[in-house]
A = this chain, B = another copy of it.
Amino acid sequence: MKKRRLYLENTPAEEALEKYMAALAGKLQLNYEEIPVVESLGRKTKEAVMAKYSSPMFNAAAMDGIAVIAERTYGASEVNPLILEENRDYIYVDTGDPINEPYNAVIMAEDLIEQGEGKLKILASVPRWNDIRPVGEDIVAGEMIIPGKHIIRAIDIGVLLSAGITEVKVIKQPEVAIFPTGSELIEAGEEPQEGSIVESNSRMFENMVTEQGGRARRFPILADDYEIIRAKVQAAVRDHDLVIINAGSSAGREDYTVHVLEELGEVIIHGVAIKPGKPVILAIVEGKPVVGLPGYPVSAYIAFKNFVSPILRLLAGQGAEETKRVKAVITKRLISSLKHREYIRVKVGDVAGKMVASPLARGAGAAMSLIRADGFCVIDQNSEGIEAGEEVEIELYRDIDQVKNTLMLVGSHDLILDLIADKMSNLTADTYLSSTHIGSLGGLMALRRGEAHMAPVHLLDEEEGLYNIPYVKRLFDEPMSVIKGVERIQGIMIKKGNPLNIKTLSDLRRVRFVNRQRGAGTRVLLDYLLRKKGIIPEEINGYAHEAATHMAVAAMVKSQSVDAGIGIYSAAKAMNLDFIPIGKEEYDFVIPNRFLDLAHVQIFISILKSRDFKDGLLELGGYGWLKAGEVIAVK
């Protein structure tokens, strides 16, 4: 076993970047290259570009018509028209044709009266230079077309070419080497073995480099081998402007990155006070910035944004990155440590004119939270957290228009939400569905607080024997409706072939079980059934072991790390598990009436009623849809 460095530093983020930039001072410089104008879209000029040709290059007809000698038209009028003769008094010209001596004016075609036999009648005289664009009218050779540090647009390309410029000096895109390291990594497309992880961070970096104006070169995966990593990094700094190593940036047994960089150059920072994203290495090797990024995708993303983007933009001659910001009310209390600045992923939505931000999973491994999120709620290092209902500033990475066209669902999870989300955007409408899964009751509470448009729920009222509606009556004061969703089957998911011979809930006492989180309708149902059968939760090994969605339960059963779990039929079917039904239930959408007319609600309802949706349900299995899309006024 190699020596471990157990502890990383914990330098505050700004301080880390400042220290690194100070160490890099004088080492980061703009490079330039000359490229064809036709390939220069979006590139930034080095210096002013001057016209080589004037435009027009010669005195040119501004209209289709005839070129004349102005003096010969003098005296023409409506009462005293003049007849002009071709090749003596005029020649035909089209727009753009050169006008030369003896001609010195143009008369446009619309003002000519055809007389036949090469003769034309005019009813007015024209002055010299009439409808002639003099040489250089638009631009004169030697004048500036575009200044330095200008981002080239389509229109610039046109004018540059017409002014005789075919090559342009632009800022060279910084070349970035990306090294994925890790013996457990496999290339995308390779067959995974147990313990292997598909290498994907480098591909995310590649594209982030592109977005920041750099050119990425992604190297094949390196094994966790000190010598190999050292040799590769040493070679790469010579012909790249920046090198990224991912990961090995922490302090594990096989985290060689920091040792390699200490040997090759100077490590300025190892460990910063951001979460996720702590294990960052900021080093300099042969005058080039070399950055070690953490392995968890969310950490990697946040660390890249904090430490790679600013350097890259500097090298690419770009200003600071623009961050879209929006004020929103946070829906959940967030506790954060004074030890770091924390990036909480949030869904943001506009609920009746109020912007609300719902926090998502906080783990560094939760890459899906980054995909599902609309932005970050950044909690400063010197803050201990944010109270629910507080207004915060969100760093948005989605368009505000998209956020405003998003239907916000908070409540219980079902696979049909994916089905619906996929259909919310179509050719005629760009609307979106956002769903946060905190269980049925949690959803109703969020709805009451005005943090969502709808709550998907499946809550049985034991007294009335009815689903959902009794809860709505009890919990809300304002006029409410229920949009009927689906009937679905709950049950026990077990391994294919049922090797442990599980038949009823009582059998759960002798196997390893996984439950759903508190507040989930599925757990409410389980508790109800256990009570009826006189089974005490403590008797079940794993009752306290929680998973957040039906599919997460199914995946754990599938992976054999538990023997049984509770959930819906479609999840069991998706994972090819056996299933013991324990009850039917109604999964519906609770909505305040004032939201019913919103465009995205209407689209949502029409999807529930569509043929497409029912085909999707058939494929998932275990659903009934007789009433799907029906709106029932509750109060």
- Residues of A whose CB lies within 8 Å of any CB of B are 1, 4, 6-7, 30, 37-38, 41, 47-48, 50, 53-59, 62, 64, 92, 94-98, 109-110, 128-129, 133-150, 153-164, 166, 184, 188-189, 192, 194-201, 203-208, 210-211, 250-254, 295-297, 301, 314, 317, 319, 322, 363, 365-371, 401, 415, 418, 421-427, 430, 432-433, 545, 547, 549, 551-552, 554-556, 558-559, 561, 574-575
A56 contacts which of B38, B250, B365 (Cβ < 8 Å)? B365
The residue in chain B whose Cβ has the minimal distance to the Cβ of A134 is B556
A552 to B134, CA, bound (A): 8
Is there contact, CB below 8 Å, between B92 and A1? yes
Is there contact, CB below 8 Å, between B140 and A197? no
Residues of B within 8 A of A401 (CB): 322
Is there contact, CB below 8 Å, between A64 and B253? yes
CB distance from A99 to the nearest CB of B (A): 9
Give 7 closest A-B pairs by Cβ, nearest first. Answer: A136-B555, A158-B204, A149-B425, A154-B207, A48-B422, A144-B418, A140-B551
Is there contact, CB below 8 Å, between A367 and B158? yes
Is there contact, CB below 8 Å, between B575 and A134? no
Is there contact, CB below 8 Å, between A136 and B556? yes
The residue in chain B whose Cβ has the minimal distance to the Cβ of A64 is B252
CB distance from A406 to the nearest CB of B (A): 12
Is there contact, CB below 8 Å, between A149 and B426? yes
Residues of B within 8 A of A424 (CB): 147
A418 to B58, CA, bound (A): 24
Residues of B within 8 A of A141 (CB): 555, 574-575
CB distance from A263 to the nearest CB of B (A): 22
A198 contacts which of B47, B164, B551 (Cβ < 8 Å)? B164
Query: Which among A96, A110, A146, A250 has the greatest number of chain B C-beta atoms within 10 A?
Result: A96
A442 to B216, CA, bound (A): 51
A208 to B57, CA, bound (A): 26
Please, could you name 8 A-B residue pairs with CB atoms under 8 Å apart, sorted by A? A92-B253, A138-B368, A140-B554, A142-B575, A143-B418, A145-B371, A154-B210, A155-B301
Residues of B within 8 A of A64 (CB): 4, 250-253
Contact A110:B157 (CB < 8 A) given known A142-B551, A555-B141: no
A55 contacts which of B47, B367, B427 (Cβ < 8 Å)? B367
A555 to B135, CA, bound (A): 6
Residues of B within 8 A of A432 (CB): 147
The residue in chain B whose Cβ has the minimal distance to the Cβ of A554 is B140
Residues of B within 8 A of A129 (CB): 545
Is there contact, CB below 8 Å, between A198 and B53? yes
A133 contacts which of B98, B164, B365, B369 (Cβ < 8 Å)? B365
CB distance from A253 to the nearest CB of B (A): 6
A614 to B489, CA, bound (A): 83
A98 to B62, CA, bound (A): 76
A195 contacts which of B98, B194, B203, B322 (Cβ < 8 Å)? B98
CB distance from A34 to the nearest CB of B (A): 14
Residues of B within 8 A of A427 (CB): 30, 314, 317
Is there contact, CB below 8 Å, between A166 and B189? yes
A197 contacts which of B162, B205, B367, B433 (Cβ < 8 Å)? B162
Residues of B within 8 A of A296 (CB): 95
Residues of B within 8 A of A552 (CB): 134, 136-137, 140
A47 to B418, CA, bound (A): 11
Residues of B within 8 A of A253 (CB): 64, 92, 94
Residues of B within 8 A of A153 (CB): 207
Is there contact, CB below 8 Å, between A200 and B162? yes
Contact A154:B367 (CB < 8 A) given known A188-B166, A319-B430, A555-B141: no
CB distance from A249 to the nearest CB of B (A): 11
The residue in chain B whose Cβ has the minimal distance to the Cβ of A304 is B154
Is there contact, CB below 8 Å, between A367 and B134? no
A109 to B38, CA, bound (A): 56
A62 to B189, CA, bound (A): 25
Residues of B within 8 A of A160 (CB): 200
Residues of B within 8 A of A143 (CB): 415, 418, 551
Is there contact, CB below 8 Å, between B161 and A198? yes
Residues of B within 8 A of A199 (CB): 161
A55-B368, A314-B427 given; 9 more Cβ-contact pairs under 8 Å: A94-B254, A109-B252, A134-B555, A140-B549, A140-B574, A141-B575, A144-B418, A144-B421, A156-B371
Is there contact, CB below 8 Å, between B207 and A97? no
Residues of B within 8 A of A366 (CB): 137-138
The residue in chain B whose Cβ has the minimal distance to the Cβ of A109 is B6
Contact A139:B48 (CB < 8 A) given known A64-B250, A198-B164, A421-B147: no
Residues of B within 8 A of A322 (CB): 401
Residues of B within 8 A of A426 (CB): 149
Contact A561:B137 (CB < 8 A) given known A159-B368, A198-B164: no
A189 to B166, CA, bound (A): 6
CB distance from A560 to the nearest CB of B (A): 9
Residues of B within 8 A of A162 (CB): 197-198, 200, 297, 367
Is there contact, CB below 8 Å, between A204 and B97? no
CB distance from A443 to the nearest CB of B (A): 19
CB distance from A619 to the nearest CB of B (A): 11
Residues of B within 8 A of A155 (CB): 204, 297, 301, 367, 370-371
CB distance from A32 to the nearest CB of B (A): 13
A287 to B197, CA, bound (A): 49
Residues of B within 8 A of A149 (CB): 425-426, 430
Is there contact, CB below 8 Å, between A208 and B154? yes
Residues of B within 8 A of A59 (CB): 559, 561
The residue in chain B whose Cβ has the minimal distance to the Cβ of A189 is B166
Residues of B within 8 A of A425 (CB): 147-150
